Amino acid sequence: MAPPSDLRAWIALLESENELVRVTTEVDPHLEVTEIVDRTVKSAGPALLFERARGSEHALLVNQFGSERRMCLAFGVSSLEEVAERLSEVLEMQPPAGLVAKLRGLRQLKSIADSQPRSVRKGACQEIVLRGDEVDLGLLPVLTCWPGDAAPFITLPAVITRDPRTAQRNVGMYRLQVLGPRTTAMHWQLHKDGRADFLASEGRMEVAVALGLDPVTAYSASAPLPKHIDEFMFAGFLRGEAVELVEGVSVALEVPASAEIVLEGYVEHGELVDEGPFGDHTGFYTPPEPFPVFHLTAMTMRRDAIYPSIVVGKPPAEDAYLGKATERIFLPAIRATVPEIVDYDLPVAGAFHNCAIVAIRKAYPAHARKVMHAIWGLGLLSLTKIVVVVDAHVDPHDYAQVAFYVGANVDPARDLVLSDGPADQLDHATTLQFVGGKLGIDATAKGPAEGTRAWPAEIEMDPDTRALVDRRWAEYGIR
């Protein structure tokens, strides 16, 4: 099934799949919604469409991504591995030999060509156009998530910028603290592409923010792509259908034509505001820090626009599922440069950059160390604090198995690697902000080539006995 084409098609799909509940009683976007959503996510509950959010005419959608099943529905697949496979086919394209391979190659090339966003003249996102003083963020049911939050925050935006040097687009998910009817803070962190675009610009830089997208395009804003890759192109590839874009009404940036709400405006060099505190996915409040101010020049909407939001906090929260999608979808890209990686897991409890468990096909001494350093040198994975490396036959998603090998295969005096490197801006544990220690745990089997005694064989039953017991199982009467 093709992925939904816009937020409304997505809501209809969720409803038909019994994955959405409409809440008709009035709720308060100030804290109350968070508590409802937090309980719902943690009990594997449905997406919630709040039709009456206090103080706003707009419906509020939360928890659209909050389960593995909904992520699969969003991508139109039965398992996210399917998405990874499609990406892998393209990344691993070989010069075709023979007609069948050539035809397949052409199909793959076409899937790339068709991914390019398509410009259209009119978009539903501009059915209502508010400019200048008409712009009012107070119209939207923006959540105040946690009691210590500085203000309401827009938490599920696709922030669109262009690199002034190359005109390359970037789309990132960066929270926006509401400062007034026409201003927000712009929380692009140190390592993010939106910030890099801003640093490369002078004076004012135009920004557009799209809210209420089809789920794959919304997801793509959170995807850690290399800077030169346009997230809307990536979304087009993942959807199998180009993202349609329409020119903004007050900025020279294109925005998704089917967005529910678009905020247009600019950020300006030399103007910073204290952003935060905000209770974030680390499970802690992030302290106030200076970030640019986003000035709105226009706000456009669909009629009866639906405002989308997400609640982050102590894991597991809804963003865990966005993170797991990234973990699965990016495996082929990681393997393109580190092919010995068989699989990996980013534990939800590790808020994604605290820990990575990596299973490798080990081929030579110190190979696990090579892979640790590769992870610490790979895009946003470089922020990972703890890397655990296990052998290929260990399932990195099975934490009990991983714990077994960390205990059994590790001599702490020999198998721990202490290093350092860049740290996530929101990490509160590092002594210095942005710089911190790294721990590598080599839980692979070692051998004399790595300075150990002879490594013993692992216990395993022989296949004949296993087959015998399979055959006779019913006879034993054990059940």
Active site residues: 280
Which residue stretch of 200-208, 219-227, 382-390, 451-459 sits at the interface with ligand FMN (rule: CB under 6 A)? 219-227
| DSSP state, residue 268 | E
Does 193 engage in binding with ligand FMN (CB under 6 A)? yes
Find out whether 162 and 253 touch, Cβ atoms under 8 Å: yes
For Mn ion, which is the closer residue by CB, 230 or 345? Answer: 230
Residue nearest to Mn ion (CB): 193
- Interface pick for ligand FMN out of 322, 329, 346, 406 (rule CB under 6 A): 322
We find the least distance from the C-beta atom of residue 162 to Mn ion, in angstroms, to be: 12
Give the pairing of strands 47-50 and 289-301.
unpaired
CA distance 381 to 399: 20
* Closest CB to ligand FMN among residues 322, 389: 322
Minimum distance, C-beta of residue 434 to ligand FMN, in the bound complex (Å): 13
Three-state secondary-structure class, residue 390: strand
3-state secondary structure 247-267: ECCCCCCEEECCCCEEEEEEE
The DSSP bridge pattern shows strands 183-185 and 289-301 to be antiparallel
Among 38, 260, 264, 319, binds ligand FMN (CB under 6 A): 319
| Nearest approach, Cβ of residue 215 and ligand FMN (Å) | 13
Q: Can you tell me which of 30, 175, 239, 385 binds ligand FMN, judged by CB under 6 A?
A: 175
User: Can you read off the two tokens belonging to residue 466?
Assistant: 């296993």
Residue 276 touching ligand FMN (CB under 6 A): no
Show the site string, 200-239: x = touches Mn ion by CB under 5 A, - = not. -------------------------x--------------
**Separation CA 418–CA 437 (nearest Å):** 7
| Residue 426 C-beta: closest distance to ligand FMN, Å | 8
Stretch 367-406 residues interacting with ligand FMN (CB under 6 A)? 380
Measured CA distances, 43 to 37, 279, 323 (Å):
10, 21, 18
- Structure tokens that stand for 472 in this block: 């006779």
Tell me: does residue 450 bind Mn ion (CB under 5 A).
no
Structure tokens given for 250: 């007050």
* Closer by beta carbon to ligand FMN, 70 or else 175: 175
49: left (phi over 0), alpha (psi -120 to 50) or beta: beta
In this complex, which beta carbon is closest to Mn ion, that of residue 154 or of residue 223?
223
**According to the binding rule CB under 5 A, does residue 197 interact with Mn ion?**
no
- Residues 362 and 415: their CA atoms lie apart, in Å, by 15
Q: Which of residues 93-152 bind ligand FMN (CB under 6 A)?
A: none
Residues 6 or more apart from 103 whose CB is under 8 A from it? none
Pick 190 or 469: Cβ nearer Mn ion? 190
63 part of the interface to Mn ion, by CB under 5 A: no
CA distance 322 to 92: 25
Q: By C-alpha distance, which of 171, 154, 253, 174 is closest to 217?
A: 171
**Residues in touch with ligand FMN (CB under 6 A):** 155, 170, 172-175, 187-189, 192-194, 222-224, 310, 312, 319, 322, 380
**Residues in touch with Mn ion (CB under 5 A):** 170, 193, 225
